[in-house]
Chains A and B, each alone.
Chain A
Amino acid sequence: MDATATPAGTLSVAQDAPRTGTLLDMHSVFGRIFNMDTATKAIQIALMVVVGLLLIGIIGTLIKKLSGRRMDSRTGGFLVKTIQYAGFALILVNAFKIANIDLSALLGAAGIAGIALGFAAQTSVSNFISGIFLMYEKTFAEGDVVTVDDISGVVYSIDALSVKLRMFDNRFVRIPNETLIKTNVINVTRFPLRRLNIKLTVTYDTDIERAKAILLETAAANQGVLRKPDPFFQVQSFGENGIELFLGVWFANPDWEQANNGMYIDIKKNFDAAGIAFAYPTMTIYSRKQGS
C-alpha cells in the first residue's frame, strides 16, 4: 500500500505502521482498533460465520428430512437442535480463536455466570433433561391421545421443555416435561385397539343367562366392535343393590367415540325391550310387630 496515497491525511499511514499496514492513524483510538490486521480477522470471522451457518443449515435440513422418515418428530427435532447448538458453539469458539481472544478468562467468568444461571434456570434444565428421558422412553408421539393427571388431549407438539396438548374442548395445555416424568401418563392410543369396560348392575330378578345373551348380541350387532378379541362377559358379584355384570368389548381406536355411544344406547334399548331393569340403590326393611 502507498503510504502517501491519501490526500486528506486522515487515512495517511504513520511511519511506524506495522507490517500489515494500517488504515488509520496508529496513535488514534480508532487507528489502534481498525488496522489492516483487524480488518483481515473481521473478514475471516465473517466468512467463517457465513460458511458455518450455511453448513449448519444444510446439515440441519438434511437431518430433518432423513429423521422425518425414520424417527418421530421429537427425536428428529432434538437431533437437529443439538446439531445446531453444537455448530453455533463451534463457530463461537473459532471466532474467539481467530480474534486472538483468550478463552480461559472468559470461561472463568462463564463458570461464575454459569453457577448463577444454573440456579436461575434449574427448572428449565430439569425440564430439558426430563425431555431427554421422555424421548428415550418413547411414551407417546405427536397425535397420540394422552391423559396426564386429570387432563386428556391429543399431543399437539413435543418440545425441549414441555409438551403441548390440545384438549377435546379445544383448549391448549402446556405441560412441563418434569411433570410428565413425575406423574402417571396414560397413552390411550398407544396400541391399535382399546377395550370399553361396561359395568352394569341389574336387579336380582334378572335372568343372568338372558342378560348375558342380550349383551353379547348387542356387541355382535355393533359395527364398531371387533370380532376378535372376543367380547368378554363376567358376573362380577352379587352386590348390595343388584347383580353386577361386566362386559368388555374391543374397538379400533378411530371408532372409539361412535362405537362407545352406540353400545350404551343399544344396551339400554335391548334391556328395556327384554324387560331387564337396572338396579338402583335399594334397601329392604323388615318390620316386626311387638309380640308377633
Chain B
Amino acid sequence: MWRQYELPKSEGTRIHRVGKTVLFVAVETAGEGDVLAAMISYPDTSIPAQRRKGKETMTVPPLDSPGWARYFMGSSANYDIVPGYPEMPVCISLREPFYLPPAADLRGWIFSHVEARIVVGGSTVASYPLTRPYKTLYGIPEAGIVCRHDEADFLASDEPVIDALHEDPGLVAHPVRLRNTSSDPVLVNELCVYGEQLSILGNDTRMQSERLLFIFSASGVRMSLEGQTDLPAGWTQIARPRVSGEERFIVRSIELFRAMTRM
C-alpha cells in the first residue's frame, strides 16, 4: 500500500483499498502534463453490518462526479502513497475509560488512524483521512483545542497486541506510558496526540510511533516523547516528524501566552 505507483494511464481508475476505505486515483491528460484525480470513499455506516446482505459491491465513480479533486502533475510519471499523521492533533477517546491511581506508572498501547498522502515529486498534493474525519474538543470550550476524533482501546501490555481489531493497515500503534503525579486518582478517558512531532516506523504490515509519555498532574496533562523504542529487524522510518519537539514546545508556549493574554 505505502509505496510508489505509476500513473494509471491505460487502466482507467485505480483502486487503493486501505481497510474498508477506498482511494480512487485516475489520470487525465491536460496540455503538456497530466492531471491526477483522486477521491476517497468511506464505508457506509448508516446500514448496520448484519443488515448488509450478500457481497458488498463497489461502484467506481465517473470522472465528472463532483467528489474528485484534481492536481496537476506536470511531467511526473508516478506518485507515492505515504502514511502521515493528520495536521491537527488527534484526540483518542478510550472505549473503556479507567482511573489511574496516584503515583501510578502504567505502560500500554493505543492506536490511531493515519492519513493517506499522495506525494508527487516530493511534494504532498493531497491528504485523505482513512476514516470519516470527525472532530472533537480536547479541553474546555473557552480554551480547548479542536482535534481529529479517534477511538481506541487501551491495551495495558508491554507488547503490542495485534488482533483482528488492529489489523487495519491504516492504524498506527502508539506505545504509551501514563504517569499520575497528582495526589488524586485521575480519569483517563482520552489522550491527545500531536502527530506532527512523531515519526511513523514500520514494516510492510504494521506501523508504530515513538513511545509517548503522558504525565497527569494537578495542572493538567502533558504529552512528550519518551524516546525511540527498540525496533525489530526490518523496520524502517516511513515518515519523519514535521516539527521537532523543541520547536513545538516554543510554538505552544507562545500560543498559550497569546491565548492567555490575547496579545
Contacts and interface: CB of A to CB of B under 8 A. Distances in A.
Interface of A: 70-72, 75, 138, 141, 191-193, 221, 223-229, 250, 252, 255
When A and B form their complex, which 5 residue pairs have the shortest distance between CB atoms, in order from nearest? A138-B262, A227-B136, A252-B146, A227-B149, A71-B263
Given A72-B262, A221-B46, A228 B146 contact: no
Contacts of B134: 223, 225-227
Interface in B140-162: 141-146, 149
Contacts of B91: 228
B146 A72 contact: no
Contacts, number: 52
Contacts of B254: 70
Contacts of A75: 263
Contact of B137 (A70, A223, A250, A255): A250
A234 B116 CA distance: 40
A279 B10 CA distance: 57
A141 B263 CA distance: 9
A224 B133 CA distance: 9
B263 A223 contact: no
Contact of A193 (B141, B149, B261): B141
A228 B263 contact: no
Interface of A, secondary structure class, is loop
B14 interface: no
20 contacts: A70-B254, A75-B263, A138-B261, A138-B263, A141-B262, A192-B137, A192-B145, A193-B141, A193-B144, A223-B133, A223-B134, A226-B149, A227-B134, A227-B135, A227-B136, A228-B91, A228-B93, A228-B136, A229-B137, A250-B141
A226 B262 contact: no
Interface string B108-144: 0000000000000000000000001111111001111
A191 B142 contact: yes
Contacts of B145: 192
B95 to A, nearest CB: 13
Nearest to A217: B46
A72 B263 contact: yes
A192 B145 CA distance: 7
Contacts of A141: 262
B88 to A, nearest CB: 9
A226 B146 contact: yes
Interface in B228-263: 254, 261-263
A193 B262 contact: no
A263 to B, nearest CB: 14
B188 to A, nearest CB: 15
B220 to A, nearest CB: 16
Contacts of B261: 138
Contact of B141 (A72, A138, A191, A223): A191
A131 B189 CA distance: 45
A171 B32 CA distance: 42
Given A72-B262, A192-B144, A226 B137 contact: yes
Given A72-B263, A226-B137, 4 more contacts: A138-B262, A192-B144, A221-B46, A228-B93
A191 B93 CA distance: 22
Nearest to B149: A227
Contacts of A193: 137, 141, 144, 146
A193 B144 CA distance: 9
Interface string B80-110: 0000000000010100000000000000000
Contacts of A229: 137, 141
B135 A192 contact: no
A138 B262 CA distance: 7
Nearest to B88: A252
A75 B135 CA distance: 33
A227 B151 CA distance: 11
A193 B138 CA distance: 11
A68 to B, nearest CB: 11
A115 to B, nearest CB: 37
A47 B131 CA distance: 69
Contacts of B135: 224, 226-227, 252, 255
A70 B145 CA distance: 21
Contacts of A71: 263
Interface in B16-72: 46
Nearest to B142: A191
A140 to B, nearest CB: 9
Contacts of B46: 221
A242 to B, nearest CB: 28
A225 B93 CA distance: 16
A38 B59 CA distance: 92
A237 B263 CA distance: 44
Contacts of B146: 192-193, 226, 252
A182 B133 CA distance: 43
Contacts of A226: 134-137, 146, 149
| Most B C-beta atoms less than 10 A away, residue of A70, A72, A223, A228 | A228
Nearest to A252: B146
Contacts of A255: 135
